[in-house]
Structure 1
Amino acid sequence: MSTDFQSAREALGARLNELRTEAGLNGRDFAQRLGWQASKVSRLQNGRQTATPEDLEAWAEACGRTDVVGELHARLRGLESHQRHWRRQLAAGHGPVQDRYVVEYQRTATVRGYEATVIPGLFQTPDYARHLLVRNADLMRTPRDTEAAVAARMRRQEVLYEAGKRFRVLLWEGALHALVCPREVMAGQLDRLVGLIGMSTVEFGIVPLGAPMPITPKHGFWIFDESRVVVETINTELSFDSADDLALYGRAWNGLNETALYGARAHRVIARARHLVAPS
């Protein structure tokens, strides 16, 4: 169990204990009121057991505080969001993390994604990926296993050629101009993007500079099989699977998609960036 998950569970338990205490009930009497074993009350209060939504509703009712049910449910949803801190994940280098991604994408049928600052790993060339991985290892001060990580990232891209898969990916135009690598490497990366347009498994759209923005997401995000959302920050990978979070990120993706360019128009945007990076 992750430290983040346990800390959040203990915080929820402390809140439950606070509600019981404010109601003037000791643990044994409270358990009798609920029809539970006293040990269950103790485990929930001390963060040794994860409450269910029904547990929280019964707890609030027994305290005479049905007004806090929404708050307790929100705390539980926060508990159920999974956090993976990059320093811990990358303790053995980038290779193991990339290997995990290979498995995750292999068992996923549909993906909706958005990136604002970097070309997605699914679409990266080996040289572009290599520069990003080196920079990230330096930033995180983690072991450099660059070539193993690049190889794993390229294996992940094999899913692009599997029948029945569908990848709907949006990219903000600014990412086409972010020189995170030498100009010749970026030129090759942009050529790679052109080759993705028209693939049967890929819907690749570009949100152009100057387009009206219905929303302005502060980060990229990926929706897997409409059942899980993954968000990467500088130090943490977050995973959400509640209905509310899935609906929220789905609406965000749909709003961005309304402004995106596809096909020949997306090709022209990439060609313009390609000329600026390495004029012929």
Structure 2
Amino acid sequence: MSTDYQQARTALGARLRELRFSCPGGRLTGQQLAQRLGWQGSKVSKLENGRQTATPEDLRAWADATDQPDTYAELVSRLAGFESHIRSWRRALANGFKPLHEGLSAEIERSSDMWIWEESVVPGMVQTPEYARHVIQRYAALLGGAGGVEDAVRSRAQRQEWLYRPGRTLHVLMWEAALRSLICPPSVLAAQLDRLVGVIGMDTVELGVVPFAASVKIVPANGFWVLDDRLVVAEDWHAEMWLDDADNVALYAKVWRTLRESAVYGADAHHVINAARRALRPR
């Protein structure tokens, strides 16, 4: 998670704690406030310690429950301010790719299930190092975050150790475009496709491909990751967004399930991958 985003979320949590302490009717404990709000006590703690992103509705309820409704405008303004920080790749890459990769790697480590959708690139969890290097270099050229490319490649490769641990499952979907996009030399893409064929046989990986010819119920758009049922990491050209509110997590999970309805698996997925592999051969 980008440093500026987390710092801003922590600062909002500290402000929420101040309101709990300065309640006109007397300081409230976290449990007392949770009872007023009808929440679990853990939610109060997560919001105050910057471990969960508040929604505007959460902030309205907090301001009212602490008998300080006039503070809502300030709180929602703070929320809008740090949400804009999420949208800055350039800020996140100010110190190179390594810190950015380390933040996501930490979240992956504490996850037991991941659901990934990628529309035009092979997902990082199943990338070869050489393919990963070309992808990261392309982003570096676009966004100006050239520092730490090799560290990022190593970090991405190390993440894949997650796939070999008991109790972990990767549910990955790709559009066929991801198998054919020449973001790297053909020889590198060929090796990457060979890697995908091997992944199909792993008991910790469920790999599906949405063929070009498949009928789809939703536009195959931007890539995203759902980690357990607690966090979504979604990417766009300008941003990596971390979403941990229940409504957004549920929405992205629904999008993933809808895309899955158009996917092929097993031997059928193998056939689509091999067709892309054959297309790379000189004629």
**Residues 175-254 of structure 1 correspond to what in structure 2 (within 5 A)?**
175-254=178-257
**Residues 7-18 of structure 1 correspond to what in structure 2 (within 5 A)?**
none
**Residues 1-280 of structure 1 correspond to what in structure 2 (within 5 A)?**
2=4, 52-56=59-63, 83=86, 85-278=88-281
Q: Show CA shifts across 1:167-187 (max 9, x none).
A: 101000111110000111110
1:200, distance to aligned residue in structure 2 (A): 0.9
Letter in 1 for 2:272: V
- In structure 1, list runs of 5 or more residues that go unmatched: 11-30, 38-49, 64-68
The question of whether the paired residues in 1 share the 8 Å contact of 2:137 and 2:146 is answered with: no
- In structure 2, do the counterparts of structure 1 residues 258 and 148 end up closer, same or farther at CA, with 3 Å as the change threshold? same
Identity %: 40
The question of whether the paired residues in 1 share the 8 Å contact of 2:102 and 2:155 is answered with: yes
Distance 2:106 2:5 in 1: 24
RMSD of aligned alpha carbons: 3.5
* Structure showing greater Rg: 1
The question of whether the paired residues in 1 share the 8 Å contact of 2:116 and 2:225 is answered with: yes
Taking structure 1 as the reference length, the TM-score comes to 0.74
- In structure 2, do the counterparts of structure 1 residues 52 and 113 end up closer, same or farther at CA, with 3 Å as the change threshold? same
Letter in 2 for 1:121: G
Distance 2:165 2:263 in 1: 25
2:192 counterpart SS class: helix
Distance 1:116 1:60 in 2: 48
1:221, distance to aligned residue in structure 2 (A): 1.0
1:52 counterpart SS class: helix
Q: Show CA shifts across 1:173-216 (max 9, x none).
A: 11111000011111011001101002111000001112111111
Distance 2:142 2:87 in 1: 17
1:113, distance to aligned residue in structure 2 (A): 0.9
The question of whether the paired residues in 2 share the 8 Å contact of 1:168 and 1:204 is answered with: yes
Kindly tell me the number of residue pairs found equivalent between the two proteins: 241
2:61 counterpart SS class: helix
1:96, distance to aligned residue in structure 2 (A): 2.3
Distance 1:165 1:4 in 2: 27
Letter in 2 for 1:52: L
Distance 1:53 1:190 in 2: 50
2:86 counterpart SS class: strand
Distance 2:76 2:174 in 1: 31
1:107, distance to aligned residue in structure 2 (A): 1.3
1:216 counterpart SS class: coil
Letter in 1 for 2:94: A
- In structure 2, do the counterparts of structure 1 residues 74 and 249 end up closer, same or farther at CA, with 3 Å as the change threshold? farther
Taking structure 2 as the reference length, the TM-score comes to 0.73
1:145, distance to aligned residue in structure 2 (A): 2.6
The aligned counterpart of 2:15 is: none
